[in-house]
Each structure stands twice: as structure tokens, then as C-alpha cells.
Structure 1
Amino acid sequence: MELVLKIAKVYKLGITTGFQQWKRILLPCILLAIWHGITVSGMVKPILLPSPAQVFDAFVAMLSTGELVTHLGTSMIRVVEGFFLAALLGVGLGLGLGIFPLMFELMDGLIQLLRPIPPIAWLPLAILWFGIEEGSKIFIIVIGAFFPIFINVLDGIRQTDHKFVELSQVLEVPRRKFITKVVIPGALPFIISGLRVGLGYAWMCVVAAELSAGMKGIGYMLTDARALAQTDRVLVGMLAIGVVGKIMDSLLRVIEKKIIRWKESFTGV
């Protein structure tokens, strides 16, 4: 009897797990079917929306020639470099302004003045300062990714429960220990969220920078394909960005679960 119950339990777990996996790919499958139906029906010209089969053929061709890997690899390196610098600046300044009120009063006005300026608006200055090569693109990525990271870190520091602040004062806990043991651990969910948002902005900025200047990168590839009316290649580039961005975001989520154990119970975050 016990063996039967164990088998039933395993079977039920397998069904549940399988259903959970299917839920993840259900919507993409539906969208793919709709896309295929639209292209087969002839409602849209192939030059405007090629079929999934055409896009897949273009993907295989670009993969075999190494073109996709070359351009995507170039953009990935730029994103990683710019995102790393933006993370250092965003986390560092966010912690500094959140912990030291005087520093916040001195710099908040300037930061709030610069924050609404779109990253792409910095491109003319970036080209003048750094040229059309790597420096200008890294600069644009840093500008774009910095503010989401900074704002989230600052909010995370400032949301520290006042009860903890009062308790630390009563117990005369050293300020340094309070910051390292209470404030920063409490802000970790905000820091990780800021990094995830900043990573998305980094990809948007690298494509925008490469669309405007440069001879390599996924943005340049999209511009070249658009000029030649190769819509299938444009879609391949867009999907490649989405897949790589998803993988990088998943890596951040793995790190998040490693350092913030209590968030594991919250699904779909």
C-alpha cells in the first residue's frame, strides 16, 4: 500500500511539474501560431513580416557564417563593461547618499537634474568626447544603466525600518556594524532589482548607440539589415537580444536567490 501511495505521489508531482513547465511556453507557442497564421494567410507582405520559417532560415544562415555570433558577442562585451561600471557607480553612490545625509543634500539636486535626460541625448557629446569607437558606446550604457541602479539602491537604504534605527540607538550599536548588519542586508532586494532593471537599460542603450555609430555590434547589424529591407535578419537580431538578455537576467536571479534566501518563497518575482 505504501508503495502505491509513493508511486501516486511521484506521478502527481510529475504532472504538476510538467504543467508548470508548459505554462512557461504556452503563450510563446500561441504567439508563434498566430504569427504563422498571419503570414500563411497573406494578410501581410513578407517584406513587412516574414514567416517563422524564413526567420529560422535566416538565423541558421547567419549562425553558419558567424555574422550573428560576431555582432552579438561585440554587443555583449560592451553591455558587460558598461553595466559593470554602472553597477559600481550606482551601488556606491546609492549607499553613500542613503547613509550620509550631508552627501545626499549636496548631490541630490544635480542627480535629479541629470536623471530625466535620455541616454541617447548624450550621444553627440559622447562622440565628441570619446569618438565613435568603444568609449562613446560604453559611456552611453553607463549613463542609461546607472540611474535605475542608483534609485533602487537609494530607496532600499532609505526604507530601513525606523524601529531598527531606534533599537540600535537604545542598544548603542556601533554605526558601522548597524550599516553592515542591518541597513545593507535590508536593502539587498532593492539592489538586485535595480541591477536587473539596469541590465535591461544597458541592452537598450547599446543598441541605440550602435544604431547611431559604429561598424560592429547587434545595433549595426539591425541598421544594415533594415537598409537592405531584410526583415528576417532584423527579427533574428531582435530575438537574439531578447534571448541573451533573458539569460543574463536569469543569472542575476540565481545570484539573488543565493544571497537572499527568504525570497525563494516568492514565485514570479
Structure 2
Amino acid sequence: MTDAAIADHVPPAPKASAVPKGTAETWSTRLKEKLAEAAPRIGWTLVSVGLFAGIWELLWAVGVADPKLLPPPHVFLGAFADQAKFFNTATRWSIGLNPADGPTPRQALFITVGATMGRVFSGLLIASVLAVTVGVLIRYFHLFEKLTLPTITLLSPVSPIAWLPVAIFIFGIGNAPAIFMVVIALFFHMVLGTVAQIDGVNRNLINVARTMGATKRQIYLRVIVPAILPGLLMVLRLNMFGAWMVVLIAETTGVGYGLGQVIMLARNTFNPSLVFFCIALIGFLGFASDWILRMVQKRILYWVPETTGVLRGL
């Protein structure tokens, strides 16, 4: 075989553009890009929080804010160890036990935060699954809509606090009533939100699916549910803040430990520093939870462009 024939059988070398992008970039390069993208947001977040804290500190410095009633951030955030020792509520409120026994202050803090976050996300998950399922069934079956939608609309304005005795009657004390309170506070609003999202689906998408011969079940699974996902995830994010509000009330019913128990302890002992420490901690946890949901939303809805404000360019 001649050299020319051998050359004809040799496959051409791959072009540079044919190399996958993931193999060309290193992890360090990707990390730098992510950090460069997130740096402005992180910076402005720190500026915003720092401005609020600075005004608070200024009011304390000039004597407007009473340090006994409104302690500045450097007071209740600086005494971390002194505040963390109050988070051992399960042992502190037990009869015949030494409050110094049990986990260390740092361990008690993580146990308390983990318990509250577990109740929030458990209730949020249960309420989301039930609400989306019921909302889709309401629009799928007309009989089911007539039997359930009036009752859901009737119970939707009821304050979650009104359900607190019901939660205690049914579940007693423990984690169950706290999770039930979160579920009941979110369920009715999320059902109505799901129904509203379904009603707002573009009719052209449904008509095109019908023209192509799609059944009612296929239209709901392939057209309506994907179309309402962006709105549902936004409703989920908004309801997550409601879950944080409700769980603190639910935790005052004797769940053993939780941020609601700590705030109740601070109120009974007139400890403003502990109150504001818990407020700052809850705000941070809520902010972190919202960030996690936004990242999940970005991963799931990869085709939806990120909105940064309609009037920003004006």
C-alpha cells in the first residue's frame, strides 16, 4: 500500500471546536467565573445589611436606642457563647434536670436550628405535593372541583393560629403539630395559586396540542404542568417565608426544642439580646433557604431567562 493510500485511511485529527467544552475548562476556571458572577450580588448584599446595621449602631451611639430594650448588633451578635447557652431548651425546661447538662451550647444551637429547618422543609414539601396534586385534580375533574374548591376557598382566609388548638387536639405535642401547622398554613393558598396558574396557561399551547391529537391526560402532563412550573416555584418561594413565620408559633406548643421555644424563653426572661439574636439567625436561615430554592429553580427551569427588573435599562 502506498503512502497516499495509507494517508487516505488515516482519520483526520479532531478540530479544536469539536472538543467538548467541559473537557477544555478546568474546575478552577469555572469556580473563578462563578465567583466573578456572584461577587456583585454578594457585595451589594453586604452593603445593604451593613447599612441597616450601621443606622442601628448610630442610633445607639447617639442615645436614641435604649441598649436595654434595643441592643445594637455588636452586643447581641458579639456574645455568641452567652446566647448559645440558652438554646438547650429541652433540658432547661425538664423537671429535675440540671440546665447545665446535655449538649454543649454550640451543639444545642445546631440541634435547635436543624430541628426548626427540618419542620419548615418537611411541611413545605408535604404542602407543595398535596397542593399541586389537588390543584391539578380540581381543573382535571369537574366533579372534584365542585366538591372541593368552595371548601378550600372558605378555609383559605382562616389564620394559621386558629388551627393551633386543632393541631394539639389531633397530634398532641412534638414535631407532628408543628409540621401540621406549616402544611395547613400553606396548603389552601398554594391550591388556589395552582388553579390560577393553570387558568393562566396560554390557550394557543393547548389548541396546538389538541390539533396534534393529544389526549386530555397528555395535555396536562406535557403542556399544562410544564407551563405552570415557573409560577409554581415562585409561589413555593413566597410560601417558604410563610412557613418560617408559622413554625415559630407552632414551636411554642411544647415541641421540646426549636427557635420558637428559644424566643418564648427570651420573652419570659425579658432578654432582648436573645430575641434579636434569634431574629438575626432566623433572617439568615430564611435568606439561605431562599437562595437554595433559587438555585433549584435555576437548575429545573434552565430554559427560563433570569429576570433582573423590567425598568432597569430605562
TM more than 0.5: yes
Deviation at 1:17, TM superposition (A): 7.4
1:97–1:221: structure 2 CA closer, same or farther, 3 Å change rule? same
Q: Secondary structure at the match of 1:246?
A: helix
Higher mean alpha-carbon deviation, 95-104 vs 47-56, is at 95-104
Q: Is the 8 A contact 1:210 1:218 kept in 2?
A: yes
| Counterpart residue number, 1:38 | 59
Deviation per CA, 1:77-118, whole angstroms, max 9, x where unpaired? 211221221111111111211333332222111101111111
> How far apart in 2 are the matches of 1:47 and 1:231?
7
Q: Is the 8 A contact 1:97 1:154 kept in 2?
A: yes
Q: Is the 8 A contact 2:206 2:223 kept in 1?
A: no
| Counterpart residue number, 1:244 | 285
Which structure ranks higher in relative contact order (CA pairs < 8 Å, sequence separation ≥ 6)? 1
> How far apart in 2 are the matches of 1:55 and 1:45?
14
Higher mean alpha-carbon deviation, 203-212 vs 22-31, is at 22-31
1:79–1:260: structure 2 CA closer, same or farther, 3 Å change rule? same
> How far apart in 1 are the matches of 2:68 and 2:207?
65
Work out the percentage of aligned pairs sharing the same amino acid: 29
| Counterpart residue number, 2:10 | none
| Counterpart residue number, 1:93 | 134
Higher mean alpha-carbon deviation, 97-106 vs 125-134, is at 97-106
1:96–1:58: structure 2 CA closer, same or farther, 3 Å change rule? farther
Q: State the TM-score, normalizing by the size of structure 1.
A: 0.87
> How far apart in 1 are the matches of 2:53 and 2:134?
44
| Counterpart residue number, 1:6 | none
| Counterpart residue number, 1:58 | 79
Q: Are 1:151 and 2:185 an aligned pair?
A: no
> How far apart in 1 are the matches of 2:253 and 2:62?
36
| Counterpart residue number, 1:29 | 50
Q: Decide which of 95, 111, 114 is 1:73's aligned counterpart.
A: 114
Q: State the TM-score, normalizing by the size of structure 2.
A: 0.75
Flag the structure with higher helix content. 1
Deviation at 1:213, TM superposition (A): 3.7
Deviation at 1:229, TM superposition (A): 1.5
- Give the count of matched residue pairs: 256
Q: Which consecutive unaligned segments of at least 5 residues does structure 1 have?
A: 1-13
Structure showing greater radius of gyration is 2
> How far apart in 1 are the matches of 2:236 and 2:37?
32
**CA-atom RMSD, angstroms?**
2.3
